[in-house]
Structure 1
């Protein structure tokens, strides 16, 4: 169940109320007249079955509510309502599987924003990855993977392509490229300092590393794991179930590959640089393609469900 809070200009309130009152997925509806100061108008509150959120939001957007007012979408975690239960039962689809595109798009913009926090996490994660490689520590590799902030921007690439948001595509691409460049540069400087102090040697980088050798030796499994992990990650982001994200972060070798590129640059080891760069490219490509394909499939499925719901509403209207 979702709660819609709509700040509607007075001239649009009647149309907004009609859209909501005519939809069987709306279980409760309230109007607070003249409660909105900016914009001058009314506040409309509605409880909506999650499965119908996209259709209702699209109809409100057609009215131009988001231009002159605002539409807030909030999840209702716990609720007791017979009418709410009936509204969900009348609405095709599953609440947990529903993709609320307004929510996904907003989150994608936030996750792909290039800011100080993103850069900080990228630098810290890449530094830990570099230390993990020097110590040949799989535990530290996992820590670097979990700390890395890049998955949100990778998922945003798929959202941008499916929803045709080309500004988001450019923003997410820049965030990924610049973020990795800064993380690699900072780790390269740290590696050069460690080399000067004698803390890190050439043997640490080129010697046998059975625990972390996979970082610079990409193969078909690297691509397959990236595809599967990205599909799982996108499903976690778009559905009401988010428990799978930690597994995604641990599965994909992006941040560790960036850390190894930095060590290769600091010690002038071309095979480490090229092997890890290829690993990074394979993982990013696989994740971006899988994210796009998963979102495209979800959009196709929910388009069919929306058409089915429209037919259901039409039949209910004829009966009345």
Structure 2
């Protein structure tokens, strides 16, 4: 997979930045446009590089403080037909599907972790669907609530914040969770309270809902599922596979647990409310912990791959000269 970088730099820094791009293992093509940038005034560099080499190149450009005095735009072309691109991918360390670009992950999770009206709306709608599924004993409605829930964004952002020590991102994600869930649960409780006098569901609805017992019965598998979901979710973010991320949404019981807490409190089922609250906590902690572990693993791997590639290239040069 080839990634295109558009780098805007001041004239005095362009020669060093251009050399860094040309020397980077995995670079396919480099173009230089002197004086092409008007605001800010400077030169423009366009480079095509294998995705698995992008993070190393960005680190070099960050050492030069390119993003402070200029800019770096990262884009992924849909299709690149080039023999040089194929050769660049073959010599780059690792595989493009497994490569992680830290700034890309931080940006994506940061966008998904903001406390916005749309985020609140999706979380409220998901919790309402979960509450309906609980009182009607409908697993279909509960699965729908899982798919609609937007909570994985802030959870992934928390993991990124812990891994990169980006505390501003972590605070923003924590606020989204700390505000979003109570608001959604309060509205679900209000809806349940208004529905009882209307006869929309009986007061013993939780006693007959065998299909939703897993929500208020947390156990070892609750943590296991949360860890697996957090791992799969972060892997899908890194590899940009949205289909896998949807599968994560419908495998965790965060939103259903929140809805169950709201309904159980209205009906006076405090023990079941406590069990579902514990289920919610287990899922939240398990997802963040697993996502954090994935990021730490990728950080270790990404540091070792360039070293292994450098050794392989030195060995190849020595063999050629010898």
The TM-score, its normalising length taken from structure 1, stands at 0.95
Maintained 8 Å contact 2:185/2:258: yes
Alignment-derived partner of residue 226 in structure 1? 226
Task: Give the whole-Å Cα distance in 1 for the aligned partners of 2:102 and 2:286.
Answer: 23
Q: Deviations over 1:189-232 (max 9, x none)?
A: 1111112322233112x322111111111111111111111111
Contact preservation (8 Å) 1:96, 1:241:
no
Who is 1:128 aligned against?
129
Asked if 1:34 is matched to 2:41, the reply is: no
1:216 aligns to 2:216 (yes or no): yes
Query: Who is 1:291 aligned against?
Result: 291
Give how far 1:312 is off.
5.1
Q: Taking structure 1 as reference, are residues 71 and 314 closer, same or farther at Cα in structure 2, changes over 3 Å only?
A: farther
Other-structure match for 1:277? 277
Q: Deviations over 1:82-104 (max 9, x none)?
A: 00001111111011011111111
Distance in 2 (CA, whole Å) between partners of 1:53 and 1:147 is 33
The Cα shift of 1:67 comes to 0.7
Query: Kindly tell me: are residues 26 and 171 of structure 1, through their superposed partners in 2, closer, same or farther at Cα, counting changes over 3 Å?
Result: same
- Which residues of 2 match residues 102-181 of structure 1 at below 5 A? 102-181=103-182
Conserved 8 A contact 2:136-2:201: no
1:314 shift after superposition: 6.2
1:6–1:43 contact (8 Å) kept in structure 2: yes
Tell me what 1:99 maps to: 100
**Aligned residue in 2 for 1:85:** 86
The whole-number CA distance in structure 2 between the counterparts of 1:103 and 1:317 is 34
Shift of 1:253: 0.4
- In 2: Cα distance, 1:291 partner to 1:258 partner: 21
Q: Aligned residue for 2:17?
A: 16
Whether the aligned pair in 1 keeps the contact of 2:7 and 2:46 (CA below 8 Å) is: yes
Quote the offset at 1:10 in angstroms: 2.0
Counterpart-to-counterpart distance in 2, 1:107 and 1:240: 10
Give yes or no for contact 2:233–2:248 (8 Å, CA) kept in 1: yes
Shift of 1:278: 0.5
Q: What secondary structure sits across from 1:29 in the alignment?
A: strand
Q: Deviations over 1:3-59 (max 9, x none)?
A: 001121222211111111122311111122222222111221110100100100000
Q: Map of 1:179-194 to 2, 5 A cutoff?
A: 179-194=180-195
Q: CA deviation at 1:121?
A: 0.6
User: How many Å apart are 1:70 and its aligned residue?
Assistant: 1.0
Partner in structure 1 of residue 268 of structure 2:
268
Aligned position for 2:67: 66
CA distance in 2, matches of 1:166, 1:106: 14
Query: What are the Cα deviations for residues 126-163 of structure 1, in whole angstroms up to 9, with x where unaligned?
Result: 01110111111101111000000001111111111111
What is the root-mean-square deviation in Å for CA atoms of aligned residues?
Answer: 1.8
Per-residue CA deviations over 1:93-120 (Å, capped at 9, x if unaligned) read: 0110111111111111111111111111
Runs (5+) with no aligned partner, structure 1: none
Q: Number of residue pairs matched? A: 319
Q: Which residue of 2 aligns with 1:236?
A: 236
Instruction: State whether residues 25 and 53 of structure 2, in contact with CA within 8 Å, keep that contact through their aligned partners in structure 1.
Output: no
From the superposition, tell whether residues 152 and 57 of structure 1 become closer, same or farther in structure 2 (CA, over 3 Å). same
**Superposition deviation, residue 317 in structure 1:** 8.6
Q: How many Å separate the matches in 2 of 1:119 and 1:313?
A: 52
TM-score when normalising by structure 2 = 0.94
**Structure 1 CA distance, aligned partners of 2:257 and 2:133?**
11
